[in-house]
Structure 1
């Protein structure tokens, strides 16, 4: 997919929306110094172009009882037919897995897992993850403290020309 060319106003709209997804069009227009109709036109265009995929609420996992977060590296036996497809299907069905990534390096996958407590996590690993087709090795990293977490995307103007050399 080709990147969309954004201007400074588009970048301001996206920056505000990433932090305040429920802002009204009137307030958004005022914040970025546009008329409400011009702001709405730009917003709809960004949605149509697929720059804005969806709107969602960010939930507090601890308030909902998820006290344990882990990043799990999973290595697979690749001698079984359709091992990747079968594992991907299993991962999609597990509500504990809130992020799943195919990666380079020593493991095949990294999973971000949320559990209510250590027992819940242990049950997940023993009854689901270890029993998934083709799983050979699992290495868990329990999160002790989150220093930064932002699911947003850096919004900046894309340079169209190389920077001029310094004098």
Structure 2
């Protein structure tokens, strides 16, 4: 890992960008009290260093018809050769899986799955997930209510380290 140094101004830039990715450079510079050229120079450096990876829009899943969200724990049979690679390859082709993590604990994977409704979710589990090579057990946790979603990084915690080297 390369170490970079972020100061308080960099942290303010990141905090604003994380909440308002479409903000113009002029508005961003004004918000953080920098000249537009200095702000753009800092932003380009943050992009070049890989701190800012990309920009995206947050879509409202319910308005788009994805009424169901589930966190799914998947346990695998370890006796099958290349079970991890096969499963990782299969889940990349499933659009319903919007997040996939290798985890510690009793299961191997935690998946975040979006579906239009219960029938769509059931079809996904029965026709894709259970048929994946090596899948031994599936445990679904259906989301009843979302209390907090933060897709970004807690930039406030970075400001505590401002001026110190951060690994990237």
Q: TM-score range by the shorter chain?
A: over 0.9
Q: Which residue of 1 aligns with 2:137?
A: 137
Report the TM-score when normalising by structure 1. Answer: 0.94
The alignment's C-alpha RMSD in Å is: 1.2
Counterpart secondary structure, 1:88:
helix
Higher relative CO (Cα under 8 Å, sequence separation at least 6) belongs to: 2
Q: Which residue of 2 aligns with 1:17?
A: 17
1:40-79 alignment, distance < 5 Å: 40-79=40-79
- Structure 2 distance, partners of 1:95, 1:150, is 21
1:8-157 alignment, distance < 5 Å: 8-155=8-155, 156-157=158-159
Report the TM-score when normalising by structure 2. Answer: 0.93
- Structure 2 distance, partners of 1:114, 1:121, is 8
Gaps of 5+ in 2: none
Size of the aligned set, in residue pairs, is 161
- Structure 1 distance, partners of 2:35, 2:105, is 50
Gaps of 5+ in 1: 162-167
Counterpart secondary structure, 2:69:
strand
- Cα offset, 1:5, TM superposition: 2.0
